[in-house]
Amino acid sequence: GGAFPQYADLLADPAIDAKAAMAALLKAASAACPADMVSFLKVRAGSRLAAGMPESAVATGSTGGAPFIDLTRHPDFADYFATLKPKTRKNMRNARNRLEREASLTHHVAANPDETRALIDRTVAGRAVRLREQGLTSRAFTDPDFADFCRSLAGRPDLEILAMSLRHGGAPIAEQWGFVHNSRYYAFVASRDFEQSDESPGKLHLKDVIETCASAKLDMADLLVPVMPYKLTWATGVAQVADYALPLTLKGHAGIAIWDRRLRPWAKTLVLALPKPLRGLLMKVAGRD
């Protein structure tokens, strides 16, 4: 998966002890490809990987979270929607009304691979532009194969993709797509029209997304990392997600202690505190844009 997954995890038979499985895999991997340390990014609490993490693993960086909506708590979407704060529901209703006074507001679910592929293209391109504007980057978007990887997922018979679009006057103002697995929807890539940001189209679209999941009788909508205010408006809970590093040599111990736990968090804080134009210039100089 490399840069593409939102969670790192361990695939193992439930009957197998997770720590024993991890120990065997790490032993084989380090013998085949000697290394000083192994990095595990975005490990979800409660996962098999979290259970199998060796005692010598070190938590690095700050703990993140993945907001989710547990739909099994409610008989239907209306019952779930009623749990939101009255002021929140009123604000969203007013925002929709303001948009609808200008043009029709509709929700569309991609019905075939061509529609899905076109929506994937728009969201990936839109997210890339937004990252550049913010002077930010990600492991996925620095990989030239990421867009092609995403496009290749549309129409695969072994993979269910749910791709959705909130349209204003026929033009998309918020879109997202993700995977359906084991009765759960995992939101993978989303983008929105920031010219309509006063109306929070991303937050408005989540209503349609969750309603679509509820209509499909899915158990959960996982909004994945990071925690963001528009996600928390809808979330019924937040799963803890953390990064871990496993030292294999003395050099690995030193690298984790000096870089992963001290210098990298300091450098990240420093970069994020820079003005957006300066951040963007720095990314270009570093070759991350």
Q: What is the pLDDT of residues 33-90, one digit of tens each?
A: 999 999 998 999 999 999 999 999 999 877 899 999 999 999 999 999 999 999 999 9
Instruction: pLDDT band for 103, please (50, 70, 90 cuts).
Output: very high
Instruction: pLDDT band for 28, please (50, 70, 90 cuts).
Output: very high
**pLDDT confidence of residue 217:** 97
Answer whether 37's CB lies under 8 Å from 245's CB. yes
Rounded percentage of the chain residues whose pLDDT exceeds 70:
96
CA distance 127 to 173: 13
How many other CB atoms are there within 10 angstroms of residue 289's CB atom?
17
**pLDDT confidence of residue 2:** 62
Instruction: pLDDT band for 109, please (50, 70, 90 cuts).
Output: very high
The residue among 28, 23, 85 whose CA lies nearest residue 52 is: 23
Least confident segment among 192-196, 249-253, 285-289: 285-289
Instruction: pLDDT band for 115, please (50, 70, 90 cuts).
Output: very high
In one-letter notation, the amino acid at residue 282 is L
**pLDDT confidence of residue 193:** 86
Least confident segment among 50-59, 91-100, 262-271, 279-288: 279-288
**pLDDT confidence of residue 195:** 75
Answer whether 234's CB lies under 8 Å from 199's CB. no
If you average pLDDT over every residue of the chain, what do you get? 91
Place of tokens 């507001």: 105
The residue among 156, 174, 153 whose CA lies nearest residue 165 is: 174
Q: pTM score > 0.95 for this model?
A: no
Burial of 282 (C-beta count, 10 Å sphere; 0-12/13-18/19+): middle
For residues 232-256, give the mean pLDDT. Answer: 94
Residues 6+ apart with CB under 8 A from 34: none
Answer whether 174's CB lies under 8 Å from 121's CB. no
Q: In which order are the strands placed within the sheet that holds 58-70?
A: 37-44, 237-247, 58-70, 220-222, 184-192, 171-181, 160-168, 105-109
Q: Which residues in 5-20 are b (16+ Cβ under 10 Å) and which e?
A: ebbbbbebeeeeebee
264-272 vs 276-285: helix axis angle to the nearest 10? 130
Residues 6+ apart with CB under 8 A from 11: 48
How distant, in Å, are the alpha carbons of 266, 284, 286 from that of 277?
Answer: 20, 11, 14
**pLDDT confidence of residue 289:** 55
pLDDT tens digit sequence for 145-203: 999 999 999 999 999 999 999 999 999 999 999 999 999 999 999 999 877 667 789 99
